[in-house]
C-alpha cells in the first residue's frame, strides 16, 4: 500500500499527515509531494525523515492513493495523470465536486456510492461537510424543505497567507494581504469571488454541493458565508424547515446516534459548540437545538467543526480508509 500526500507542505497537507498518524492508517510507503519549488524540503513523519518530491516523480511511482490538497488548477492538471497510472485520487479542491462524472463524498452520509473503480473522488467544501453531516439524518426522517445558513469561518480556510495576515495585524506588522480588508477585529462577508448573482462562490458551493450529496435538487437552500478572525474552525447558524413536524427530544436522539456527530446542547451549563473546543477534533459538534417559533416544522441549530480536520483532511483520509476496507474485502 503506497500513499501520496500532494500539497504536503501546506496547511491541509500537514493535517493529512497528522490524521494518518493519529488514525494509525496502515501503509508500506509514504510519498510527500509538492510543487517544484518545494521539492527537496525535509519533513518528519513518525520519527522518519522524508524528502518532498515533485508531481512527476510521484506519478512515476504509481501510488495506490493520492490525497490532493494543492488547489483546483493543480488538481485539474495532475489528478487525471495519477488516475491514468491506477492511483485513486481524493481531491480537496473544488475542481471535481460538481462534475457529473465524479462522486462527492462524506463517508458517514454516502460512502456506499463508492467503488474500487473510482479514480478521482471529490472532497466537499469544508462548510458543506459539517452541515451535511447534521442534515442527512434529519432529511431522511423529516424531509428537508428549505435551509438558511450563515457561516462564521476561520481564516485557516484561506490558507497560511491569511493566518499570517491576521497574526501580523495583531502584532502591528505590515505584510502580505490575503484579504481586501483587515481581518483582525473585523468580519468579512466575503469568501471566494463574487458571482453574477451577487452570491460568492463559497455560498453557491454550499447550495450546489448539499443538493448533490443528499441527492435531492428540490431542497431550497440559501447561504451567507462570512470570514471571522479565528483559527479553530468553522461555525454555522442553520435554520431548517421540514415537510414533517418533529419532536425535539426525538430529533436530538437521532443526531446523537449519528456517527461523527457530538451533541453539545446544555444552555443552563453554557455548553454549546465553539471553534476553540472543536480545534484539532475530527467530529462535528451540534448545539443550540431549538424550534423556530416564527414558523412551523422549523429547527434552529449551531454546527461547529475544525475545517482543516473533518472539513478537509479527516474526511479525505476516511474516504481512503473506506476504500482500503473495500479492497481488502475483495
User: Do 255 and 140 reside in the same domain of the chain?
Assistant: yes
Question: Do 119 and 134 belong together in one domain?
Answer: no
| Mean pLDDT of the chain, nearest integer | 96
Residues 227 and 144 in one domain: yes
Residue with cell 491506477: 86
The tens digit of pLDDT for each residue in 33-61 reads 998 889 999 999 999 999 999 999 999 99
Q: What is the pLDDT of residue 330?
A: 61
Say if residue 143 is in the same domain as residue 262. yes
How crowded is residue 313: how many other Cβ atoms within 10 Å of its Cβ? 28
Can you tell me whether residue 288 is helix, strand or coil?
Answer: strand
* 33: β partners: 6, 53
Catalytic residue of the set 102, 126, 139, 279: 126
Q: Give the CATH number of the domain where residue 17 resides.
A: 3.40.50.720
Burial of 294 (0-12, 13-18, 19+ CB in 10 A): exposed
H/E stretch holding 213: helix 201-214
pLDDT digits (tens, 9 = 90+) for 288-316: 999 999 999 999 999 999 999 999 999 99
- Say yes or no: 139 and 259 in one domain: yes
Q: Are 97 and 125 in contact (CB under 8 A)?
A: yes
Catalytic residue among 139, 181, 190, 234: 234
Q: Residue 327's pLDDT is what?
A: 81
Q: What is the pTM of this model?
A: 0.95
Residues 134 and 107 in one domain: no
What CATH number corresponds to the domain at position 202? 3.30.360.10
Task: Let me know whether 99 and 176 are in one domain.
Answer: no
Q: Which residues of 59-97 are buried (b: 16+ CB within 10 A; e: fewer)?
A: beeebbbbbbbbbeebbeebbeebbeeebbbbbbbbbbb
Average pLDDT over residues 109-125: 96
CA-based torsion, 181, 182, 185, 191: positive or negative: positive
Give the pLDDT band of residue 9 (cuts 50, 70, 90): very high
Are 231 and 151 in contact by the 8 Å Cβ rule? The answer is: no
Q: How many CA atoms lie within 13 A of 15 on its CB side?
A: 25
37, exposed or middle or buried, with CB in 10 Å at 0-12, 13-18, 19+? exposed
- For residues 227 and 107, membership in a common domain is answered with no
β-pairing, 298-305 vs 234-242, is antiparallel
CA distances from 149 to 214, 220, 223, 236, 276 (A): 16, 11, 5, 7, 21
- Closest CA relative to residue 27, chosen from 237, 327, 324, 326: 324
* Residue 252 dihedral angles phi and psi, to the nearest 5°: -65, -40
SS3 string, 76-102, reads HHHHHHHHHCCCEEEECCCCCCCCCCC
Is there a single domain that holds both residue 107 and residue 189?
no
Range of the domain at 54: 2-124+311-329
Q: Contact, 297 vs 244, CB < 8 A?
A: yes
Residues 78 and 179 in one domain: no
Structural domains counted in the chain: 2
126 included as an active-site residue: yes
Same domain, residue pair 54 and 136: no
When pLDDT is averaged across residues 5-12 and rounded to a whole number, the result is 94
Which residue is listed with cell 423529516? 142
- pLDDT tens for 172-225 read 999 999 999 999 999 999 999 999 999 999 999 999 999 999 999 999 999 999
Shared domain check, 230 and 303: yes
Amino acid at each position: 500500500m503506497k500513499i501520496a500526500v500532494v500539497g504536503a507542505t501546506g496547511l491541509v497537507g500537514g493535517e493529512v499527515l497528522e490524521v494518518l498518524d493519529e488514525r494509525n492508517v496502515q501503509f508500506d510507503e509514504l510519498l510527500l509531494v509538492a510543487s517544484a519549488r518545494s521539492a527537496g524540503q525535509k519533513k518528519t513523519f513518525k520519527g522518519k525523515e522524508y524528502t518532498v518530491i515533485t508531481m512527476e516523480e510521484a506519478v512515476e511511482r504509481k501510488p495506490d492513493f493520492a490525497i490532493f490538497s494543492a488547489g483546483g488548477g493543480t488538481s485539474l492538471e495532475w489528478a487525471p495523470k495519477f488516475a491514468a497510472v491506477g492511483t485513486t485520487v481524493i481531491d480537496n479542491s473544488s475542481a471535481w465536486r460538481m462534475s457529473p462524472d465524479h462522486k462527492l463524498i462524506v463517508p458517514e452520509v454516502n460512502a456506499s456510492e463508492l467503488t474500487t473503480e473510482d479514480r478521482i473522488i471529490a472532497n466537499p467544501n469544508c462548510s458543506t461537510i459539517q452541515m451535511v453531516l447534521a442534515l442527512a439524518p434529519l432529511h431522511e426522517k423529516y424531509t428537508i424543505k428549505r435551509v438558511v445558513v450563515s457561516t462564521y469561518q476561520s481564516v485557516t480556510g484561506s490558507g497560511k497567507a491569511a493566518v499570517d495576515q491576521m497574526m501580523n495585524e495583531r502584532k502591528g506588522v505590515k505584510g502580505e494581504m490575503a484579504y481586501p480588508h483587515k481581518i483582525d477585529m473585523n468580519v468579512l462577508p466575503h469568501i471566494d469571488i463574487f458571482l453574477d448573482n451577487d452570491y460568492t462562490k463559497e455560498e453557491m458551493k454550499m447550495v450546489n454541493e448539499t443538493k448533490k450529496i443528499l441527492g435531492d435538487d428540490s431542497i431550497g437552500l440559501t447561504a451567507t458565508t462570512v470570514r471571522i478572525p479565528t483559527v479553530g474552525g468553522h461555525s454555522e447558524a442553520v435554520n431548517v424547515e421540514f415537510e414533517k413536524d418533529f419532536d425535539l427530544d426525538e430529533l436530538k436522539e437521532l443526531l446523537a446516534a449519528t456517527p461523527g456527530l457530538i451533541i453539545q446542547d446544555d444552555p443552563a451549563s453554557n455548553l454549546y459548540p465553539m471553534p476553540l473546543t472543536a480545534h484539532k477534533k475530527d467530529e462535528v459538534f451540534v448545539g443550540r437545538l431549538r424550534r423556530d417559533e416564527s414558523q412551523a416544522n422549523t429547527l434552529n441549530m449551531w454546527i461547529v467543526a475544525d475545517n482543516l480536520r473533518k472539513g478537509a483532511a479527516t474526511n479525505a483520509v476516511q474516504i481512503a480508509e473506506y476504500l482500503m476496507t473495500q479492497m481488502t474485502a475483495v
